């Protein structure tokens, strides 16, 4: 499903796997137990699944999106959660997909959930997702270097990001992103670890 979603968009290719690697590394740092890490892995891999239901022309548009186009893109957490509905995955996986664009201060989407009301696994994926989005090149902007992206996360602490998770990421980003350059380490985190 992840490959189907990323097949038409060269800009996001590999995004889901990188977000999963960062999320698991961050989850381990935050001392999640093995069951939570398994849920985190599935949820992170599938977090953007709903983009399969969004026109590719919107996802790869070079100009800024209009307000109504942005409203459509903002539906992807709901669409993704609906797609996995019949599979019977555990509720925390649904929460990750549905809540990965919620902000810690309540200014995110789709529901404007706030702070601890957002699943802690989703809050981890939010940091990992934003970091990868900032360090990847997109049609509408250049990518940031890892340090600048880490600083950006620090700057948006407590507004967009959970301060504990964001600080843990910033203080350790070099070791958290290390497996990305290493194919066997990435495979182990994605497929073999648990």
Whole-number Å distance between alpha carbons of 157 and 163? 5
**Residue 141 carries which DSSP code?**
B
| Complex with Fe ion: residue 100 or 166, whichever CB lies closer | 100
Q: Of 186, 173, 64, 159, which is closest to residue 103 (Cα–Cα)? A: 159
Let me know: does 1 contact 157? Beta carbons within 8 Å. no
Binding segment for Fe ion among 7-15, 40-48, 61-69, 174-182 (CB under 5 A)? Answer: 40-48
Q: Which is nearer to Fe ion, 48 or 162 (CB)?
A: 48
Task: Count CA within 13 A, CB hemisphere, residue 82.
Answer: 9
Helix or strand (DSSP H, E) at 4: helix 2-6
Instruction: Check binding of 48 to Fe ion (CB under 5 A).
Output: yes
Binding window for Fe ion (CB under 5 A); candidates: 41-49, 108-116, 134-142, 171-179:
41-49
Interaction between residue 162 and Fe ion (CB under 5 A): no
Shortest Cβ 60–Fe ion spacing (Å): 15
Instruction: Please say if 51 is a catalytic residue.
Output: yes
| From 28, 31, 51, 74, active-site residue | 51
| Backbone dihedral angles phi then psi of residue 161, each to the nearest 5 degrees | -115, 150
* Span of 33-41, 45-53, 119-127, 152-160 interacting with Fe ion by CB under 5 A: 45-53
- Total number of residues binding Fe ion (CB under 5 A)? 1
- Residue least distant from Fe ion (Cβ): 48
d(CA 19, CA 129): 5
Residue 153 in contact with residue 166, Cβ under 8 Å?
A: yes
Omega before 20 within 30 of 0, i.e. cis: no
Instruction: Tell me how far, at minimum, the Cβ of 47 lies from Fe ion, in Å.
Output: 6
Please state the closest distance from residue 192 (CB atom) to Fe ion, in A: 26
Which residues of the chain form contacts with Fe ion (CB under 5 A)?
48
Which residues are catalytic, by number?
A: 51
């Amino acid at each position: 499903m992840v490959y189907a979603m990323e097949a038409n968009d060269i800009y996001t290719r590999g995004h889901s796997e990188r977000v999963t690697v960062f999320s698991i590394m961050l989850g381990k740092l935050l001392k999640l137990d093995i069951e939570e890490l398994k849920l985190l892995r599935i949820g992170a891999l599938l977090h953007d699944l709903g983009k399969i239901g969004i026109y590719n022309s919107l996802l790869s548009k070079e100009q800024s999106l209009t307000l109504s186009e942005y409203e459509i893109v903002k539906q992807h957490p709901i669409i993704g959660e609906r797609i996995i509905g019949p599979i019977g995955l555990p509720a925390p996986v649904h929460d990750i997909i549905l809540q990965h664009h919620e902000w810690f201060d309540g200014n995110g989407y789709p529901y404007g959930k706030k702070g601890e009301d957002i699943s802690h696994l989703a809050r981890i994926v939010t940091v990992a997702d934003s970091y990868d989005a900032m360090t990847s090149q997109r049609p509408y902007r250049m990518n940031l270097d890892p340090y600048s992206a880490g600083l950006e996360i620090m700057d948006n602490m407590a507004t967009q990001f959970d301060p504990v998770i964001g600080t843990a990421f910033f203080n350790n980003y070099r070791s958290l992103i290390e497996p990305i350059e290493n194919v066997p380490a990435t495979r182990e985190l994605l497929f073999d670890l648990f």
